[in-house]
Structure 1
Amino acid sequence: MGDLWLIGIGTGNPDHVTLEGRRALRDAALVLVPRKTKGKDDLAELRHAILAGAGATAEVVEFDMPVRDESLPYAARVHRWHDEIARRWSAAIARAGVSGPVALLVWGDPGLYDSTLRIADRLSPAPRVRVVPGITALQALTAAHAIPFNTVNGAVTVTTGRSLRDHGWPEPAESVAVMLDGACSFRALSPVGLTIWWGAFLGMDNQMLEAGSLAEAGPRIVETRAAARARHGWIMDTYLLRRAQE
């Protein structure tokens, strides 16, 4: 294992790939592209479109993503899943037999609520890791709604739906950005004084947005999200919650 490049590609819009990211894609010798479960073929197709748009000529090797064992406790389930992904990376790289940098296209940014760096730590021998930053879902969300990420001098907590559901509003944040929430965990909060800005498929042609008081917009989001997931077979979404200013 030599150089491993983790290239942030934004949230689905090929125009979100930075100039540095495009150069890295052109300079890579090998690109690994994950194949996910049936119904998510468009995610791999979008990666191929980004490679073509960047003028990349690297060899492309696809590999099947493993499925998490839902019978295990959460931490053990994720740990074992990451181990298996690292093994499949190593096997795909060995099969290719290419000399030169190996690249992976990472949704959003490799440093924000993404496990690619943790998986890379499992590789042996350890590669030289280069991270090319990308536009995050939070940037795409606030841009789509034309809102600031934070209030004046206000704290923002970035968390997960699981944490929001289990622990409630994280004090003393005025704003809470929620990632990885497949259960619409905002329903566990009292909606009084809360505004929500929600977005799905951010940056893509089928981008969906909802906003308003949590009491009014929350039920719309639950219904819209369920319909979109049933229609596409998958969904990537995020949202920002904010307390009313006194």
Structure 2
Amino acid sequence: MRNIVLIGIGEGDPEHLTVRAVEAMRSVDVFFILDKGERKKELVDFRAEVLGRYVPEGGYRIAEANDPPRDRSSAEYVSAVEDWRKRRADVCERMIAEELGEDETGAFLVWGDPTLYDSTLGILEDILARGTLSFEYTVIPGVSSVSSLVARHRTGLNRIGRPVQITTGRRLAEGFPDGVDDVVVMLDAHCTFAEIENAGMEIYWGAYLGTPEEVTVSGTLPEVAEEIKRVRAEARERNGWIMDTYLLRRNPG
């Protein structure tokens, strides 16, 4: 039986890997890499750095394929993502079938944590549902962008007796969630924080967390919203891509 391991590798710092992740990597026969193109070459380079640091040479193979592009111009967000995931599953299914022997272990090195805003776990489940391939799989957690963010800002994710919610910029645009005062926002390409009512609200923002390009800004939202927009735009222009997240904290009363 083929075996697949999804290994969370953290947010760009090789020291974010857990002991369990390193041990799992050393038992892998084939590492599957999806190349997102020249503009995101750092993502592939970091995986190579991790392998070079923790896994002895010669004990594994690399299977690499181009990551299908996603249509980011479509007004139908859900259908566009579903189409992209299907095409990505096609690529992954082909790599597993062609590159992984029946008694071998393959692995995907997943940025951050495989269970939080990453599609790889769902794609493996989609492949199994097709019934053309059979394999077992395990998931090894990693340090997520959420954990890195609050640690870097030296603050807690939640407050005593209060809930915290993780959402997207698209959902935040519909309004600040009811019943919570601490909201983590991911996948916000439009700086939605600048559009919401922000009296008495604090923001803890970070991009490229754990990498040499890391940038962070914090403060009261009215005071730093424009600074974050400027820093974000400059960083995206400089690097050609950006991954950022932030915590919005509303003070009740």
TM-score class normalised by the smaller sequence: over 0.9
Q: Which of the residues 174, 187, 203 maps onto 2:181? A: 174
Which residue in the other structure is 2:226 paired with? 219
Pick one of 167, 171, 193 that aligns with 1:163.
171
The answer on 1:130 being equivalent to 2:142 is no
Please state how far the C-alpha of 1:37 moved relative to its aligned partner. 2.6
What is the SS of the residue equivalent to 2:26? Answer: helix
Q: Write out aligned runs for 1:16-31 (5 A).
A: 16-31=16-31
Quick check: 1:50 aligned with 2:58? no
Residues 19-69 of structure 1: per-residue CA shift (max 9 Å, x gap): 110111110111011110331111101011111111153101111000113
1:109 aligns with 2:113: yes
Runs of 5+ consecutive residues of structure 2 not aligned to the other structure: none
Unaligned runs of 5+ in 1: none
Counterpart of 1:75 in structure 2 is: 78
**Cα drift, residue 151 of structure 1:** 1.1
Report how far residue 72 of structure 1 moved: 6.3
Task: Give TM-score, length-normalised by structure 1.
Answer: 0.95
Match of 1:231 in 2: 238
Query: For residue 93 of structure 1, what is the aligned residue in structure 2?
Result: 96
Question: RMSD of the alignment, in Å?
Answer: 1.4
Query: Cα distance, 1:142 vs. partner?
Result: 0.6
Checking the alignment, whether the CA contact within 8 Å between 2:30 and 2:100 is kept in structure 1 is no
Say yes or no: does 1:65 pair with 2:67. yes
Deviations 1:53-93 (A, max 9, x none): 11153101111000113346111111111111111112223
For residue 159 of structure 2, give the secondary structure of its aligned residue in structure 1.
coil
Task: State the match for 1:142 in structure 2.
Answer: 150
Give, in whole Å, the separation in 2 of the partners of 1:67 and 1:215: 36
1:6 aligned partner:
6
Distance 2:116 2:248 in 1: 18
Instruction: Indicate whether 1:184 and 2:191 are aligned.
Output: yes
Alpha carbons 1:200, 1:207 under 8 Å: kept: yes
Paired residue type of 2:246 = Y
| Residue 89 to residue 169, structure 1, CA distance change in 2 (3 Å) | same
- Following TM superposition, where does structure 1 have runs of at least 4 consecutive aligned residues deviating by more than 3 angstroms? none
| Equivalent pair of 1:168/1:188 in contact (CA under 8 Å) | no
Q: Secondary structure at the match of 1:190?
A: coil
